[in-house]
């Protein structure tokens, strides 16, 4: 079974621009979560989607948003990019939401904001 895939793997943007990252979960997985990893803050939860609905949201500004499609694929968007948004963005999928479930991570998208 194929793992979680994320595109693109690397991205360079400038301040003020916006960016969209994509995630395809493991086949049969319906819950998709997004995390941000930075050297200072470590791995932090952004949000979780299940059945096209946001179930949980972390402590990030409204510039960070996401959505999920009917095939469980998910996108996250960051608008008005800031230098501090430079990070590794990780997507994780699990079978379902509403219970504790093992999450499997994709390789991540490395975003650099100049």
Partner 1 sequence: DQQVKQNSPSLSVQEGRISILNCDYTNSMFDYFLWYKKYPAEGPTFLISISSIKDKNEDGRFTVFLNKSAKHLSLHIVPSQPGDSAVYFCAASASGNNRLAFGKGNQVVVIP
List of residues contacting partner 1 (CB under 8 A): 4, 6, 31, 33, 35, 42-45, 48, 55-56, 58, 90, 92, 94, 97-108, 110
Q: Which is nearer to partner 1, 48 or 85 (CB)?
A: 48
**Structure tokens of 12?**
């360079």
- Report the residue number, 13 or 55, with the smaller CB distance to partner 1: 55
Distance CA 32, CA 18 (A): 21
In angstroms, rounded to a whole number, what is the distance separating the alpha carbons of residues 28 and 37? Answer: 26
Minimal distance, residue 20 CB to partner 1, in Å? 19
Instruction: Quickly tell me which residue has 């390789």 as its tokens.
Output: 107
Q: Which is nearer to partner 1, 49 or 80 (CB)?
A: 49
Q: Are the CB atoms for 68 and 74 separated by under 8 Å? A: yes
């Amino acid at each position: 079974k194929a793992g979680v895939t994320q595109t693109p793997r690397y991205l360079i943007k400038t301040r003020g621009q916006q960016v969209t990252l994509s995630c395809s979960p493991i086949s049969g997985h319906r819950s998709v979560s997004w995390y941000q990893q930075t050297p200072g803050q470590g791995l932090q939860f952004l949000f979780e989607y299940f059945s096209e609905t946001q179930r949980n949201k972390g402590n990030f500004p409204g510039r960070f948003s996401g959505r999920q499609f009917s095939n469980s694929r998910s996108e996250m968007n960051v608008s008005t990019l800031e230098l501090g948004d430079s990070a590794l963005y990780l997507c994780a999928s699990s079978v379902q939401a509403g219970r504790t479930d093992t999450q499997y991570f994709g390789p991540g998208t490395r975003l650099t904001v100049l």
